[in-house]
C-alpha cells in the first residue's frame, strides 16, 4: 500500500496523519507532517472575539512542538492575534489614530519625524510579531554609527550644479562622506518612539510583549548651561533698551517672569491687566508641520495668573505705544491678531525670528550667548534683585511652599545692580 503524501495546505489536515512511526502524546493530534517539515495549530480567541486556528511551523517535529506549546500558553492567557501587520503599517495606524488625536501637535510631529526618518527605513518591512530584541538592538547600534546624510539622501537631494556652492552636492553624494552621525539624544528619542508604538501594540493586544523594552538605552546626560548672573541679565536689558530693540518688552517678560518663548509670543492683550499688574498664562504660539498654531499650554500646571513688578508694567505700556504707532502707520494693512508681540503689520512673530533677535541682542550687550530657555533660571535671581516681595515671587515662580521661595532670597546682589535694574522701568517713560 503506497505511503500517503502530506496535505497541500495545513487546513487539509488528514484524519490519520503520519508521525514518523511514533505515537503522539496526549492532546497533540493537531501536529502533523507538512511539506518539508511539520505544522501544528491551536484553537485561539482573537481580540475581536472570534474562535479560529493559529498555526505553527517547523522543520522538525520537536521545533514545531515547542512553538505549539507556546501557542497553547498564549491562548490560555487571553486573546491571540492571528494576523500581524508590518511595522511600517502599524506605525502609520498608530500615528494617525492614537498619537495625533491624543497628544500635542509638537509631540505628534516629533513622533512622525522619527518614524519616517529612522524607524521605517530600517525596520518597517519587519512583521510586527517577528520583530526581535536582537533586531532592535542591531538597529540602535547601527544608527549610532551611520551617517544620516547618506542614509536619508540629504546631499543626494541637492542639485549637482548651483550658483551657490553651499546648495549643490558637496559631500556624501560626491564620495566625500560627511559622517553626520546622529546625536545621542536623536538615537534615544528614535528608540523611545519605537518603544511607545510597541507599547501601544501590547495594550491593543496586537503583541504579547514589547521587545524594545528589553534594550538597554540610558538617557543621555543633559548639557548643563550656566545661566546668566543678575549682572549679565541687567547688562543685556540695559543694552536692549538703549538700542531701542523692539523686542525689549518681550525680553523683560522672559527674564523677569520666566515665561517660555511660546508663552511670550502667544500672549494676548486680553490676558493682560495693566491696572492690576497681572496676566493670565494659558496659551502658546508654536509652528508645527508648517503651520503656526495658537494653542493652550501643555499642562494645567503651566496655566497661571501671574502678578508682575513695575518693570514689567512699564515695558508693556511701552509695547502698547509701539503697537499704536505701528497700527497707524500700517493703515489698512494692519492685521488685528490681538497678540502683544507682533510684526509691523500686526502678524504673529515667528519663534525663529525671535531667537535671531535675541542672539543679536546678546552680541550688542556683550554678554554670553545662551538659549532663550536658559534665561528662565535667571528669573528668580532677578526678582530678588528687584526687591519683589517673597509672596509675589512665590506666585511668579509657582512654588507650592514659601520656604522654597525664601531659599532663593539667600542670593545677595550688589546694591549697584539693584539700583540699575530699578531704573530700567523709569527710563522707559522718558
CA atoms of 96 and 143, how far apart (whole Å): 25
pLDDT in the model for residue 4 = 45
Beta carbons within 8 Å of 20's beta carbon, 6+ residues apart:
33, 61
Asked whether 314 and 425 are in contact (CB, 8 A), the reply is yes
Predicted pLDDT at 124 = 94
With CA atoms as reference, report the closest residue to 304 among 340, 349, 267.
Answer: 267
Residue 3 within any structural domain of the chain: no
CATH number at residue 131: 1.10.150.130
Alpha carbons 116 and 289: distance in angstroms, whole number? 14
DSSP helix/strand/coil, 80: coil
pLDDT for the residue 142: 94
CA-closest candidate to residue 258, choices 288, 233, 293: 233
In this structure, are 201 and 327 located in the same domain? no
Q: Which residues of the chain have pLDDT under 50?
A: 1-9, 11-27, 301, 410-412, 427-430
**Is residue 71 domain-resident?**
yes
User: Residues 277, 413: one domain?
Assistant: yes
- The long-range contacts involving 337-342, CB below 8 angstroms and separated by at least 24 positions, are 338/268, 338/269, 338/270, 339/265, 339/266, 339/267, 339/268, 339/269, 339/285, 340/249, 340/267, 340/268, 340/269, 340/272, 340/316, 341/247, 341/249, 341/250, 341/264, 341/265, 341/267
As a whole number of Å, the CA-based R_g of the chain is 32
Has residue 174 been placed in a domain? no
* CA distances to 144, 195, 211, 235, 277 from 364, in Å: 39, 45, 52, 10, 30
Given a contact cutoff of 8 angstroms between Cβ atoms, the answer to whether 37 and 47 are in contact is no
**In which domain, by residue range, is 52 found?**
10-77
- Reported in sequence order, the residue ranges of 16-93 that DSSP labels E, i.e. its strands, are 31-34, 37-45, 51-58
Closest residue by Cα to residue 294 from 283, 303, 282: 283
- Among the candidates 55, 77, 99, a domain finishes at 77
Domain identity same for 274 and 397: yes
The reply to whether 50 falls in a domain is yes
Closest CA to 136 of 218, 220, 210, 221: 210
Question: Is residue 159, in this structure, part of any structural domain at all?
Answer: no
CATH code: domain of residue 299: 1.10.443.10
- Same domain flag for 73 and 205: no
Residue 14 covered by a domain: yes
* pLDDT given for residue 41 in this prediction: 86
**Is the domain of 299 the same as that of 343?**
yes
Half-sphere exposure (CA, 13 Å, Cβ side) for 369? 9
CB distance 271 to 285 below 8 Å? no
pTM for the whole thing?
0.68
CA distance 407 to 403: 6
Domain count, the chain: 3
Return the pLDDT at 3: 47
pLDDT at 6: 46
Q: Does residue 196 contact residue 112 with C-beta atoms inside 8 Å?
A: no
Residue with grid cell 552636492, as numbered in its chain:
169
Amino acid at each position: 500500500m503506497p505511503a500517503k503524501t502530506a496535505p497541500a495546505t495545513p487546513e487539509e489536515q488528514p484524519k490519520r496523519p503520519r508521525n514518523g512511526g511514533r505515537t503522539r502524546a496526549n492532546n497533540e493530534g493537531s501536529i502533523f507532517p507538512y511539506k518539508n517539515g511539520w505544522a501544528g495549530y491551536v484553537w485561539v480567541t482573537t481580540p475581536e472575539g472570534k474562535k479560529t486556528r493559529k498555526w505553527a511551523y517547523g522543520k522538525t517535529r520537536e521545533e514545531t512542538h515547542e512553538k505549539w506549546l507556546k501557542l497553547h500558553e498564549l491562548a490560555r492567557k487571553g486573546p491571540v492575534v492571528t494576523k500581524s501587520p508590518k511595522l511600517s503599517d502599524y506605525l502609520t495606524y498608530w500615528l494617525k489614530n492614537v498619537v495625533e488625536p491624543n497628544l500635542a501637535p509638537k509631540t505628534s510631529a516629533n513622533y512622525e519625524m522619527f518614524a519616517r526618518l529612522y524607524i521605517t527605513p530600517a525596520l518597517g518591512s519587519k512583521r510586527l510579531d517577528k520583530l526581535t530584541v536582537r533586531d532592535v538592538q542591531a538597529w540602535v547600534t547601527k544608527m549610532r554609527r551611520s551617517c544620516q546624510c547618506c542614509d536619508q539622501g540629504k546631499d543626494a537631494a541637492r542639485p549637482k550644479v548651483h550658483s551657490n556652492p553651499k546648495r549643490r552636492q558637496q559631500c556624501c553624494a560626491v564620495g566625500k562622506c560627511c559622517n553626520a552621525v546622529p546625536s545621542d539624544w536623536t538615537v534615544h528619542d528614535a528608540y523611545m518612539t519605537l518603544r511607545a508604538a510597541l507599547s501601544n501594540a501590547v495594550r491593543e493586544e496586537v503583541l504579547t510583549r514589547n521587545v524594545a523594552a528589553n534594550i538597554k538605552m540610558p538617557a543621555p546626560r543633559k548639557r548643563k548651561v550656566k545661566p546668566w548672573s543678575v549682572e549679565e541679565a541687567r547688562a543685556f536689558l540695559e543694552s536692549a533698551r538703549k538700542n531701542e530693540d523692539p523686542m525689549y518688552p518681550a525680553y523683560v517678560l522672559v527674564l523677569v517672569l520666566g515665561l517660555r518663548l511660546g508663552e511670550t509670543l502667544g500672549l494676548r492683550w486680553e490676558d493682560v491687566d495693566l491696572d492690576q499688574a497681572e496676566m493670565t498664562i494659558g496659551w502658546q504660539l508654536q509652528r508645527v508641520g508648517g503651520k503656526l498654531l495658537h494653542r493652550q499650554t501643555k499642562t494645567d500646571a503651566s496655566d497661571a495668573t501671574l502678578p508682575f513688578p513695575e518693570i514689567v508694567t512699564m515695558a508693556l505700556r511701552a509695547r502698547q505705544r509701539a503697537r499704536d504707532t505701528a497700527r497707524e502707520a500700517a493703515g489698512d494693512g494692519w492685521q488685528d491678531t490681538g497678540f502683544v508681540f507682533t510684526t509691523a503689520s500686526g502678524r504673529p512673530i515667528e519663534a525663529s525670528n525671535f531667537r535671531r533677535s535675541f542672539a543679536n541682542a546678546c552680541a550688542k550687550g556683550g554678554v554670553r550667548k545662551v538659549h532663550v530657555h536658559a534665561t528662565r533660571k535667571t528669573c528668580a535671581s532677578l526678582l530678588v534683585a528687584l526687591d519683589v516681595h517673597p509672596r509675589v515671587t512665590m506666585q511668579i515662580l509657582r512654588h507650592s511652599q514659601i520656604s522654597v521661595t525664601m531659599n532663593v532670597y539667600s542670593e545677595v546682589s550688589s546694591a549697584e545692580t539693584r539700583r540699575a535694574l530699578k531704573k530700567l522701568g523709569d527710563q522707559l517713560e522718558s
